[in-house]
Structure 1
Amino acid sequence: MNLRRARDAAIIPGLAIVLALVFGSLIVIFSSPLIFGLDLTLPLVAYKALVEGSFGSFGAVISTIVNAAPLILAGLAVGVAFKAGLFNIGAQGQFLTGGLAAAAVGAWLAHAPGPVAIPLALVAAILVGSVYGAIPGFLKAYTGAHEVVTTIMLNYIALYIVAYVVTGPLRAVGATFARTPDVGNASLPILVGGNGHLGVLFAFVAIPLAWWLLYRSTIGFEIRTVGAGPDAARYAGMRPRLLIVVTMAFCGGLAGLAGAGEILGLTGFMPAGYSTNVGFDGITVALLGQAHPIGIMFAGILLGAMRAGAPLMQIEAGVPAQMVDVLQGAILFFLTAEILVRYLFRIRAKSAKVAELQTVASSYGGQATPTQ
């Protein structure tokens, strides 16, 4: 992506972040104990603590990266699907089923050598996540069922599958609460700091892999062509149905890998009430990153930093850590509001579609694809 295109792509996300910070400042000011005095400095204190808690020390940076890693993988799971014209709302379900598979295989191989247990648990998570992603892809391709509807339903199914398995067949004997047994030797090794586990590297390996897949491989070209125009892809001899299934399976594998990283790298087991919203947060990451792997990386780091800095913000400024969720929701609101405006006025959205069609058409004609 050249500098001009990178700048243009960053304008809307940048404005969304600024507007979210302004909105958050107003919430902090008007909900503070000094409401009648309007403590205008409180937002500055809160944001300063947020930055210090995420980048103010080596440990804070590690915490930011650890929080960012699953968000990046989930963001890629949503963003790659975007490129194929698909809205993968099901990253949460793929994350949960992948994590459950890792927990099950990890518990089964808890006493096996780490070099054996870890790869098998990771492969299980990727495969299960891929299958769970391929299901809505197949339904979309061969029955016309909208992926938004099917993935939402599959999210609920995944949630209850986890609850059933963890409280029943896989419940740890003697545990004080419903959870799977410890994964033992299948735990990912700590590389740095207190929780900087090996799984963090998965996200930063997946970024260049996804970029290469989308912009330097034949299948990536076909994925983007299907996203730009399925009829044109079919006319060019491609198989849109197969590409939809393969794309959703790939995205499901990424989300499943994110789930494995959380289970094998942090908790060491899966509790019955495992309710992290990594999969849903991946939607925000993908939108904020404009569905581009590099943008998704920066968006994931931003949201990871907000999570890492939230406790210090609560301690130093007295602002509840949940303010981070408010900021994230505001960012998503302003991003989607911009998309809604494009849709209503049909101007910029049409030009963006034409630009994508021109990109894939020039590539099909044998010219180099513009650098992304």
Structure 2
Amino acid sequence: MSGNRIRVLCVDDSALIRDLLSQIINSHPDMEVVAVAPDPLVARDLIKRHNPDVLTLDVEMPRMGGLDFLERLMRLRPMPVLMLSSLTSAGSDVTLKALELGALDFIEKPTLGVRDGMFEYSALIAAKIRMAARAQPRRIEPAKQAPGALAALAVSSEKLVVLGASTGGTEAIREVLQPLPANAPGILIAQHMPGGFTRSFAQRLDGLCRIRVKEGEHGERVLPGHAYIAPGDAHMTLGRSGTHYVVQLDDGPPVNRHRPSVDVLFESAARLSRDNTIGVLLTGMGKDGARGLLALRETGASTLAQDQQTSLVFGMPREAIALGAASEVVALGDVAERLLALATRTTRGTRAHAVTGPADRPTHNRNQGNPHDDFTA
């Protein structure tokens, strides 16, 4: 960052969107738009000239598509990128692909009343830019291989996993779920994501995983070998019908500014499944889930928090660790194996380390890539 201001480059083929983003960003004293670009080829030259801290990027643009540009950018010069996405089925699919390629997060682009809609998002846009400037973007390696399958173990039918995530969570959740065997315990997931995106997210994961992944439906039974993702406009809680756990959904007010809220999910599990629960808190901005993870640990549940090194944004895990809510801090690549071990009748060793004190202060390393890399084919 230059001085105390976050330097932002906005890339969009719409002059209106470029103007609105500039007005919104420049209205906040800690950030500024250093340049705007109508397409990725112009953006490439502006990145070299201005070396911005954060890039906002539209998907549909002339001369080079946003996804093609993003893939090259994250391979050659990783930097924090926020996508602008429309709230459509096609838009959600493209957005998920962008997150897979290394984009940090996305900003919803209104389809009607664009000017008023964008200004309604002003505080959220600013918050996401601040988060992006502190994040640690990852270099995307070509031909990334899927994680190997974990062996099916004698998983206890009483065990249940509740998992929460926010920024960076779509890929982190994929990395946790993909290696799990078909007899993994039932998993309830709260990922901060607006309505309309979670169904596409669940469908994408269902095609990649051995377990069944679906958007949660009110009243359905929680089954082993299934993961249930909270719809993007509802809180998900754990309920009981007779001897069975069931999914419950409600449209109550946001908690920690989120619906679904991780705290809401975790606290419901603390009330019902108690020490039969394994709580997992992954990468994300803010503190949602920290209180809920503590409530779980206080009932005797096993609680895992993702470590700083592998978290795209260490906010939520850091808050939980500082509260003493995490019984273990685990690298992302070890979470699947660890939760599976905890769900078996006899647990095994792990590379996780137990937490006995407050978390260390995080260090936010800005990428120092060469601003003169060329992103053209």
Greater RCO (CA < 8 Å, at least 6 residues apart): 1
Comparing both structures, which one devotes a greater share of its residues to helix?
1
Comparing both structures, which one devotes a greater share of its residues to strand?
2
